[in-house]
């Protein structure tokens, strides 16, 4: 008889424990995601509101006839901590002419990321398109000579609150 009375109470305790455990796991998952800068869980920005280069995804495109240019610049950007997800010839070369050193293409969700990438190439221009993600395209033009020096980046960091690129860390990326 006592066993019958204890069963509903025991089931209620088990159910509430499961519910509390599931809520706690969700809280821990969100805290972990915020620490790594995963989408929807934090800004992934460094001091000054600028994105951390380790959280900026970049596709590097060659809009010139200089062979291997995109691959070379991509390696340099990786050395500065950026996440290069692709290198190729510019897919828009027949549609859009890159004037000057480079064009940084981005969507509304990648404004800060695009500004950080633009500062890496002296004379680069911004071009906003309709993409929905925060991935930035860096299309290198005929006027490309080099990436910005550390001194140039330090000057813009002080004026604009933009962080200078950092070496890649061993922390997980988004």
Q: What is the pLDDT of residue 75?
A: 97
**Amino acid 81: pLDDT:** 96
d(CA 99, CA 92): 13
The residue ranking higher by pLDDT, 15 or 83, is 83
- Which tens digit of pLDDT belongs to each residue from 86-131? 999 999 999 988 999 999 999 999 999 999 999 999 999 999 999 9
**Distances from the Cα of 37 to the Cα of 44, 51, 144, 171, angstroms:** 4, 10, 32, 10
CB 131 within 8 A of CB 157: no
Q: Which two tokens stand for residue 136?
A: 């930035």
Q: What pLDDT, on the 0 to 100 scale, is given for residue 20?
A: 79
Least confident of 24-33, 56-65, 122-131, 139-148: 24-33
Q: What is the mean pLDDT of the chain?
A: 80
The model's pTM is 0.64
Model confidence pLDDT, tens digit, residues 38-66: 444 444 444 456 789 999 999 999 999 99
For the chain, list the domains and their CATH numbers: 1-42 (no CATH), 47-160 (3.30.70.2390)
């Amino acid at each position: 008889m006592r066993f019958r009375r204890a069963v509903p109470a025991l089931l209620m305790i088990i159910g509430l424990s499961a519910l509390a455990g599931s809520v706690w796991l969700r809280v821990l998952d969100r805290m972990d995601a915020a620490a790594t800068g995963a989408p929807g869980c934090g800004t992934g920005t460094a001091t000054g509101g600028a994105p951390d280069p380790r959280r900026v995804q970049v596709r590097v495109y060659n809009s010139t006839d200089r062979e291997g240019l995109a691959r070379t610049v991509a390696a340099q950007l990786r050395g500065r901590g950026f996440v290069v997800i692709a290198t190729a010839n510019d897919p828009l070369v027949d549609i859009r002419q890159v004037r000057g050193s480079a064009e940084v293409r981005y969507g509304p969700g990648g404004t800060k990321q695009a500004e950080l990438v633009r500062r890496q190439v002296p004379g680069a221009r911004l071009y906003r398109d309709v993409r929905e993600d925060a991935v930035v395209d860096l299309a290198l033009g005929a006027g490309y000579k080099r990436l910005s020096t550390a001194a140039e980046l330090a000057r813009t960091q002080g004026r604009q609150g933009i962080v200078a690129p950092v070496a890649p860390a061993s922390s997980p990326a988004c």
